[in-house]
Amino acid sequence: MTDDDIILKAENLYFSYDDEKTHSLRGLSLEIRRGRRIAFMGANGSGKSTFFLCCNGVNRPSSGTVYFEGEPVDYSRKGLLKLRRNVGIVFQDPDNQLFSASVFQEISFGILNLGVSEEDAAREVEDVIRRLEITPFRDKPTHALSGGQKKQVAIADILVMHPKIIILDEPGAALDPKHTAIVNHIIEQLSEEGITVLLSTHDVNYALEWADEVVLLKDGKLLAHGAPGEVFSDQEALALTNLEQPAVLQLFNSLCAKQILDRSLPLPRNLAQLEQYIADIHS
């Protein structure tokens, strides 16, 4: 692996919202590789959102450095513009992100800020409206949209800017199963396009199935970082972050302990895979 593969790097980040006494980030170091899907997990207040805001320069760490594509972040206007066009954040509560009552206006905001001409911007906005299936409600005012529809618009807001990294802060929060599925499908498309996706979630089963890497945070520090199977097998780290081991792994481990399944099998990522293992016993 060359250094080029590292798109974003945090080095010993400290960040405090109010004073020097209480830090939301306390020496966080992390490397993020291009094109990966990374799930951030940890209790509320463990520093996930704070770290995300550091990634695109909205929060400036009190000490430590953020590197984007190998270069330390430049906090001048120009430097921030460059960083933010590449690192987009979809905020947890769309109501904190959508500032306009018109869906079309809302989505066009980010791309116009990049200095794109109005014709090109209009084309991009139309394109993203079609891709994210916003067309059925594009003419509604944002205050009349459902939570899931607002989320779709919030993702479109960012996607239209063609960032290299998209960060989603708890994308599944407060969504019904149908809209969770829609949002997950969109996230799937993002990674297929080669965009590096960072998302925070409390859903261990989703993280196990979706992520290439899982990052566990606790009290503003990195607790564990690795492949999902590896991190979710670390009982000690899980206990520290009050996370349950994914049900699939629990069942797999107990089946292994009872010598029904072979421990040399690769860890299952989802129920279907585990089901297949069990089905294979008889054949």
Partner 1 sequence: MLTIDKFSYLSKLRYINAAEKFSFAVITLILCVVSRSVCAAAITLFAAGFLTVYKGKIPLFRYLRYLAVPVVFLLFSTLAVFVNISRTPLDLFAVPVGSFYLTGSRAAAAEGIRLILTALAGVSCLYFLAFNTPMPDILNVLLKLHCPKLLIELMLLIYRFIFLLLDIASALSCAQASRLGNKDFRTSCRSFGSLLAVLLVLAMKRSNALYDAMESRCYDGTIRVLNETYPPRAGEIAAIIGFELLLAAAWLLEVYML
Binding site for partner 1 (CB under 8 A): 53, 56, 58, 77, 80-81, 84-85, 88-89, 91, 93, 95-102, 104-106, 108-110, 112-114, 118, 121-122, 125, 139-144, 157-158, 161
List Cβ neighbours of 256 (8 Å cut-off, separation of 6 or more).
Answer: 262, 263
- Which whole-number Å values give the CA distances from 245 to 200, 218, 236, in the listed order? 17, 17, 11
| Shortest reach from residue 282's CB to partner 1, in Å | 54
Structure tokens at 64: 């430590």
Dist CA 231 CA 213 (whole Å):
9
Q: Which is nearer to partner 1, 150 or 218 (CB)?
A: 150
| Shortest reach from residue 157's CB to partner 1, in Å | 7
| Shortest reach from residue 243's CB to partner 1, in Å | 27
Q: Which is nearer to partner 1, 121 or 199 (CB)?
A: 121
Q: Which is nearer to partner 1, 144 or 279 (CB)?
A: 144
| Shortest reach from residue 231's CB to partner 1, in Å | 28
Three-state DSSP class for residue 72: strand
| Shortest reach from residue 173's CB to partner 1, in Å | 14
Q: Which is nearer to partner 1, 169 or 213 (CB)?
A: 169
Closest CA to 255 of 246, 247, 263: 263
CB neighbours of residue 256 within 10 Å: 14
End-to-end CA distance of the chain: 40
| Shortest reach from residue 107's CB to partner 1, in Å | 8
Q: Which is nearer to partner 1, 106 or 209 (CB)?
A: 106
Q: Are 186 and 127 in contact (CB under 8 A)?
A: no
Q: What does residue 23 show for φ and ψ, rounded to 5 degrees? A: -105, 135
Region class of 194: left (phi > 0), else alpha (psi between -120 and 50), else beta: left
Q: Could you tell me the maximum CA-CA distance found in the chain, to the nearest angstrom?
A: 65
Q: Which is nearer to partner 1, 106 or 213 (CB)?
A: 106
Interstrand relation of 6-15 and 63-68 (parallel, antiparallel or unpaired): antiparallel
Q: Which is nearer to partner 1, 45 or 185 (CB)?
A: 45
Q: Are 223 and 237 in contact (CB under 8 A)?
A: yes
| Shortest reach from residue 92's CB to partner 1, in Å | 10
